[in-house]
C-alpha cells in the first residue's frame, strides 16, 4: 500500500476548503471565507496541504511581511542590530491542520515548509526573523519546541531568528 501523495501549494480557487475543520472556528472560517481574498489583495500568501485527486485542503498556513519594534526584541539581539525603530520579519499569520490529521506530524510539516519559504523570501526581501502569534498554550508549546522565543512585551508573540532558520535549511552553494 502506497501513501497518498500530498503537496503544499499556493491556495487556488480549485482547492476544496468546504470540509476543513481544525477545531478553531476562527481558523476554519478564515480559510473558507477570507483566505482567497487576502491572497488576491496581496495582504497574505496562503499555502495549503492537499492530497489529490480531490484537492481537499488538509492544512494551511499564511505568510506575510511584518515588522517588529526593536524594543520588543531581547536586548542581547537588539544590541547587534541597527537602531531602526522597526525591523522586517516574516509573519506566519495562521497555521492549522484538519482534525483528521492532527497528531500525525502535519503541523511540523507545514511549519517547516513555512520556514523554508520564509528563508527563501528573506534572500530577496530582508527579514531578520519569522514571527508567530500563538493563540493558546498548546500553540505556544508547539512553537517553542522549535526554539521560537517570546518577544519582550508580547509573550504570546514568538520569533525565530533567520540565522536559526538558516541552520535548519543550510544552503548548498556548491563552492
Provide the grid cell at 125: 526581501
Other C-beta atoms within 10 Å of 135: how many? Answer: 15
Positions annotated as catalytic residues are 143
Provide the grid cell at 123: 534572500
CA 84 distance to own-chain centroid = 25
Task: Compute CA distances 31 → 4, 17, 51, 103, 152, whole Å.
Answer: 23, 7, 17, 20, 30
CA 98 distance to own-chain centroid = 16
Amino acid at each position: 500500500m502506497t501513501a497518498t501523495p500530498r503537496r503544499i501549494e499556493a491556495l487556488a480557487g480549485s482547492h476544496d476548503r468546504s470540509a476543513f475543520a481544525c477545531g478553531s472556528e476562527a481558523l476554519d472560517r478564515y480559510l473558507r471565507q477570507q483566505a482567497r481574498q487576502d491572497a488576491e489583495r496581496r495582504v497574505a500568501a496562503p499555502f495549503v496541504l492537499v492530497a489529490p485527486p480531490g484537492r481537499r485542503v488538509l492544512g494551511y498556513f499564511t505568510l506575510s511581511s511584518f515588522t517588529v519594534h526593536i524594543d520588543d526584541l531581547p536586548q542581547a539581539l537588539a544590541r547587534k542590530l541597527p537602531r531602526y525603530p522597526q525591523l522586517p520579519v516574516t509573519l506566519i499569520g495562521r497555521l492549522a491542520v484538519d482534525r483528521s490529521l492532527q497528531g500525525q506530524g502535519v503541523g511540523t510539516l507545514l511549519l517547516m515548509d513555512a520556514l523554508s519559504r520564509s528563508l527563501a523570501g528573506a534572500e530577496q526581501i530582508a527579514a531578520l526573523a519569522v514571527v508567530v502569534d500563538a493563540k493558546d498554550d498548546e500553540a505556544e508549546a508547539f512553537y517553542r519546541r522549535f526554539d521560537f522565543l517570546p518577544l519582550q512585551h508580547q509573550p504570546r508573540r514568538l520569533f525565530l531568528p533567520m540565522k536559526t532558520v538558516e541552520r535548519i535549511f543550510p544552503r548548498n552553494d556548491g563552492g
